[in-house]
Amino acid sequence: MGLPAALDLAGIFVFALSGALTAVRQRLDLVGMAVLAGATALGGGILRDVAIGAVPPKAFTSVGYVVMPLAASALVFFWHPQVTRLLPAVLFFDAAGLGLFCATGTGKALAFGLSPVHAVLLGVVTAVGGGVLRDVLSGQVPSVLYDRQLYALPAALGASVVAVAHVLGAGGGAVTAGAAALAFALRLLALRYGWRTPRPRGVPG
Amino acid sequence: MGLPAALDLAGIFVFALSGALTAVRQRLDLVGMAVLAGATALGGGILRDVAIGAVPPKAFTSVGYVVMPLAASALVFFWHPQVTRLLPAVLFFDAAGLGLFCATGTGKALAFGLSPVHAVLLGVVTAVGGGVLRDVLSGQVPSVLYDRQLYALPAALGASVVAVAHVLGAGGGAVTAGAAALAFALRLLALRYGWRTPRPRGVPG
Amino acid sequence: MGLPAALDLAGIFVFALSGALTAVRQRLDLVGMAVLAGATALGGGILRDVAIGAVPPKAFTSVGYVVMPLAASALVFFWHPQVTRLLPAVLFFDAAGLGLFCATGTGKALAFGLSPVHAVLLGVVTAVGGGVLRDVLSGQVPSVLYDRQLYALPAALGASVVAVAHVLGAGGGAVTAGAAALAFALRLLALRYGWRTPRPRGVPG
């Protein structure tokens, strides 16, 4: 397994942790935990793959994509107080996953022949779609829709970098890594300084 | 761009307005507004296209389909009090979009070889699916499920006209226009006279 | 129509009843009832078919798959007090549908070339996906996520039996029937004895 595949599985794992911790907060059982872990980790990629016609989606062909959410569920099931104490670290790695998936999602959509505009859209879907599913399944309005501390915008930035590079004839691992790092950095800065998405005037937070 | 394409984009725009206004009511931010605008405008067509195998769905190949929700979001972001004052007009145009999409959605499903029964079903999904997504994403029970003032039934009527005409060997722009007009008219009459979908006995509104 | 097809339609019908009864409880109208009946009965199979690339999904090619939810809606619309009184029977037949769909769903995924692990996953999705859609559409956290009385686990058991038999070179009607019976029996036992899915420690029910 090369570095990209290892990073990919690590991103899946961290997203799955966030789903499993949501299940604890919502007082769900082991099934709910596995479902939220899987939906959070795999939902964005499944939506992208179905949209671009990459069927069956990678979630249904890669064994690692099933093992990671189950492993995250087992971890949280037995040690959720300890994992909860590591929440700052989970947020840090979640930001890394956000960066990674917006970049790789955009690249996959471009590879399937979508226009740069649509590839950006699907890159963002890849990065935030799983979290949207997690929130809808657990009875909450998706947090990305009111975006405490920029979440979708860093993903849009990373996706745009990949798409613009593609238009300029560039691509490959360096562009993906740079775009992911940029999205990751913007997300961390937003967390650190409390940067928020603008709201329509007259609409309180 | 011919008249059908222009009408199609106009319908997308009005559905997107309804999504963006929902975001204001739900106190979401700019990201939430763009997501609800896009989901409302494009959700029904995406569901239909995935179901019939028209992949990537038109939402992921047409640039206009991405521009319209962004334009509607920008408009509502800066001038939502004014747009809200125009709500009766939004309802009027939404009814026009409902009529248009139930007719064109049914036609597309027939063109992909589906039976008339299933084409009607997918015509209704095209017309109401975006609104269902909008409501689920904003944490509400989809309004079409308790249908204050007929909404799905006018769409089913318009879709049925297209399907019956197809069985009788007719089709094309005139049938689409007639079916859309019929659905549009029934929706306006329902709004004007407060016609509602029947409820099971003993179930209050 | 052979026995498998008849059982399949019977399972669709019972799942549709459960959706239609939910619509009564949630005070929805006739449209809401038909939508919940259809989503509950067909949602799991549609998700599976889209995932494995069996497009259009059977729900959009089989007329019986549309007729059953409409028939269940008509029945519940006019006679819901009587149907509600039959709820124990509905739970019994729902358990039969759960068993049937986890087994046939896994078999279809295997027939489309998915690995045994992913086929089990999609077998469970087939069996419980419709109920998840029903609950999300009616504004509730999906009951399968907190699983009063085992629901997803019997489906996982039945799906695993089909997948393991496939690995061992067995298949066909006898395996499907046996796996379905096993899931059915475990679900009934869980209902009878109140067996519940484990929860993470410190998380009350």
For the segment B144-181, what is each residue's pLDDT rounded down to a tens digit? Answer: 999 779 999 999 999 999 999 999 999 889 999 999 99
How many Cβ atoms sit within 10 Å of the Cβ of residue C1?
Answer: 8
Contact at CB, C141 and A138, closer than 8 angstroms: yes
Confidence category of residue C204, pLDDT binned at 50, 70, 90: low
Asked whether residue B200 is domain-assigned, the answer is no
> Angle at the Cα of B177 (from B172 to B178), degrees rounded to 5?
105
- A to B CB pairs, distance under 8 Å: 93
Contact at CB, C205 and A61, closer than 8 angstroms: no
Asked whether residue B34 is domain-assigned, the answer is yes
> Among C140, C153, C205, whose Cβ lies nearest the Cβ of A31?
C153
Tokens linked to A193: 């300084």
- Residues in C lying within 8 Å of A, measured between beta carbons: 50-53, 55, 112, 114-115, 117-118, 121-122, 132, 136, 140-142, 144-147, 151-153, 196-205
Chain B closest-CA separation from residue C188 CA (Å): 31
- The answer to whether residue B56 scores a pLDDT higher than 80 is yes
- Residues in B lying within 8 Å of A, measured between beta carbons: 23-24, 26-33, 35-36, 46, 50, 55-57, 60-61, 63, 66, 76-78, 80-81, 136-139
Asked whether residue A189 is domain-assigned, the answer is yes
Q: Among B55, B114, B141, which would you mutate to test the C interface (most chain C Cβ atoms within 10 Å of its Cβ)?
A: B141
Indicate if the alpha-carbon torsion angle A65, A66, A69, A70 is positive or negative: negative
Q: Which chain B residues contact residue C56 at CB under 8 A?
A: 51-53, 112, 114, 118
* Cis bond before residue A56 (omega within 30° of 0): yes
- Looking at chain B, how many residues does it have? 205
Average pLDDT, chain C: 95
pLDDT per residue, tens digit, chain A (205 aa), is 788 899 999 999 999 999 999 999 999 999 999 999 999 999 999 999 999 999 999 999 999 999 999 999 999 999 999 988 988 888 999 999 999 999 999 999 999 999 999 999 999 999 999 999 999 999 999 999 997 799 999 999 999 999 999 999 998 899 999 999 999 999 999 999 999 999 998 776 5
Contact at CB, B198 and C29, closer than 8 angstroms: yes
Asked whether residue B120 is domain-assigned, the answer is yes
**Mean pLDDT, residues C145-155:** 92
Contacts of A145 (CB under 8 A, 6+ apart): B23, B26, B28, B29, B31, B32, B35, B36, B137, B138
Asked whether residue A198 is domain-assigned, the answer is no
Asked whether residue C199 is domain-assigned, the answer is no
Q: Which chain A residues contact residue C197 at CB under 8 A?
A: 29-31
Q: Among C26, C28, C46, which would you mutate to test the B interface (most chain B Cβ atoms within 10 Å of its Cβ)?
A: C28
Q: Which chain B residues contact residue A51 at CB under 8 A?
A: 46, 50, 55-57, 60
**Mean pLDDT, residues C71-89:** 92
Q: Phi and psi at residue B145, in whole multiples of 5°?
A: -80, -20
What does the alpha-carbon distance between residue B20 and residue B23 come to, in Å, rounded to a whole number? 5
> Among A136, A197, A201, whose Cβ lies nearest the Cβ of B31?
A197
The answer to whether residues A197 and A147 touch, using CB atoms and an 8 Å cutoff, is yes
The count of structural domains within chain C is 1
> Among C112, C136, C196, whose Cβ lies nearest the Cβ of A136?
C136
Contacts of C168 (CB under 8 A, 6+ apart): none
Q: Which chain A residues contact residue C144 at CB under 8 A?
A: 31-32, 35
Percent of chain B beyond pLDDT 70?
A: 99
The pLDDT, as a whole number, for residue C121 is 98
The answer to whether residues C53 and C142 touch, using CB atoms and an 8 Å cutoff, is no
**Mean pLDDT, residues B51-80:** 97
Q: What is the DSSP letter of A86?
A: T
Q: What does the pLDDT look like over A119-176, one tens digit per residue?
A: 999 999 999 999 999 999 999 999 999 977 999 999 999 999 999 999 999 988 999 9
Burial class from Cβ neighbours inside 10 Å (0-12, 13-18, 19+) for residue B27 reads middle
Contact at CB, C61 and B144, closer than 8 angstroms: no
Asked whether residue C203 is domain-assigned, the answer is no
> Among A36, A66, A138, whose Cβ lies nearest the Cβ of C118?
A66
Contact at CB, A136 and B138, closer than 8 angstroms: no
What does the alpha-carbon distance between residue B73 and residue B35 come to, in Å, rounded to a whole number? 9
* Cis bond before residue B56 (omega within 30° of 0): yes
Asked whether residue C204 is domain-assigned, the answer is no
Chain A closest-CA separation from residue C22 CA (Å): 17
Contacts of C13 (CB under 8 A, 6+ apart): C41, C68, C71, C72
The ipTM (two decimal places) reads 0.95
Task: Give the domain range for residue C128.
Answer: 3-193
